[in-house]
Amino acid sequence: MRHYNEHPKMRGWRFAMVASDLGTSIVEGVVQVLRIPAEWTAPMPRGITWWPGHFAQSLWSDPAEAEGEPIYRFHCESELVRGRGQTSLVGRLSHAMTRSTTSAVVYDETADLYKLHFAVCATDVSYEWLRRLVLAAIVIQAHDVIASAPRLAEEFEVDIAKSGHPKNGERTDLDQVLRGLPEFIQPAGKKPSRWLEAESEWVEARNRMRHAGAHAVTDSQTYVRAEFEQEGSPLRIEIRADKPHATLGSGLSLHLVLPVLMSGRERSRLAVKFNRLERTEWTACHDFGSWCLEGPDLCFHAFIPNVAYAKGMLADLGRDLALRGAWATEHLRSLQ
């Protein structure tokens, strides 16, 4: 597996994206660049399901239009643990989700499955900076399943979500995709954050947030902070490049705090509900990260690794946090 930027098939993927349906081309490009083996894949509508190990990961896209412009929502979702009917586990997991990086924990009540999920909204313009982040997030999600499922199964007395290919059965080895974390993502994280001292990007992020109605400030080097006025306590946003992740190293930390006057159980249910709604609703946001609980507050956490850096990403992610906060606030009003 070569570095994402240097893979010779990347050029073919870029051409395919421009030449045909962007949504399905993203799926095809992921399969090519990550060299996903055909013997461990199965077709699904507008995508594939494949087995990086003992669990299934699905990649698919949804088409739509925004103001007449074609836009595609690309999803990546991995099976994590089976709940044994324990819907109460939803609340307990909302605390564990503070460790989320690029994926959220969602609960499929019909299948009694907890899954990891992320999604991006791609256009012919945005896919240029998104593709590196998509590839990294796929690798991180698969690694998170391998690392987290045994711990969650033991801690919460549930079952690891093992499954097998419809023809080839259960996979007993781990795909080479899992090497992407120790070979590329973590070494890149040992260097200083790519966003440090990117002055123009921090200023643009601040300006985007101000345009959205926030009071926003930045030091033009390491952080941007914003507050949005609302009834009661203000909604707070912070993006930092000087807070490394314990596993991924340097990168970009995103944090949204939404104070709510609810009991702990109600906040837990709301965090999981927001994750589920973001999976199914068109929120106009890139769906990286997870809603969770942090003390008395409802929060959203995400972490973007160094290897995914692209110019212009910071301002778009800042805009996404502002949109996400407005979306969540509207849902809270509907509950009152």
pLDDT in tens, 249-273: 999 999 999 888 777 778 888 888 8
DSSP state of 317: H
Check residue 35 and give its pLDDT: 95
| Total domains, the chain | 2
Which one-letter amino acid corresponds to residue 245? H
* Same domain, residue pair 63 and 168: yes
- State the pairing for strand pair 47-50/251-259: unpaired
Which tens digits make up the pLDDT trace of 276-297?
898 887 777 889 999 988 877 8
CB 296 within 8 A of CB 259: yes
Q: Are residues 262 and 177 in the same domain?
A: no
Are 36 and 134 in a shared domain?
yes
Q: Are 176 and 240 in a shared domain?
A: no
Give the pLDDT confidence score for residue 219 in this predicted structure. Answer: 95
**Domain containing residue 312: CATH number:** 3.30.1460
Q: Against a cut of 0.85, is the pTM above it?
A: yes
Q: What percent of the chain lies above the pLDDT cut of 70?
A: 85
DSSP per residue over 126-155, as a string? THHHHHHHHHHHHHHHHHHHHHHHHHHHHH
Q: Can you count the helices (H) and strands (E) in the chain?
A: 9, 13
pLDDT tens across 5-28, in order?
333 332 333 323 333 577 788 899
Q: Is residue 83 part of a domain?
A: yes
Q: Are residues 325 and 237 in the same domain?
A: yes
Tell me: do 14 and 48 sit in the same domain.
yes
Same domain for 221 and 102: no
Lowest average pLDDT, out of 141-145, 152-156, 304-308, goes to 152-156
**Token pair in block for residue 137:** 């997030």
Do residues 18 and 57 share a domain?
A: yes
CATH code of the domain covering residue 15? 3.30.1460.10
pLDDT, greater one: 39 or 126: 39
Domain hosting 304: range is: 199-335
Shared domain for 173 and 216, answered yes or no, is: no
Domain closes at, from 119, 154, 189: 189
194 domain-assigned:
no
Lowest model confidence (mean pLDDT) among 8-12, 189-193, 216-220: 8-12
Same domain, 179 and 204: no
Q: Both ends of the chain: CA-CA distance in Å?
A: 51
Of 40-49, 69-78, 95-104, 229-238, the one with minimum mean pLDDT is 95-104
Bigger pLDDT: 228 vs 92: 228
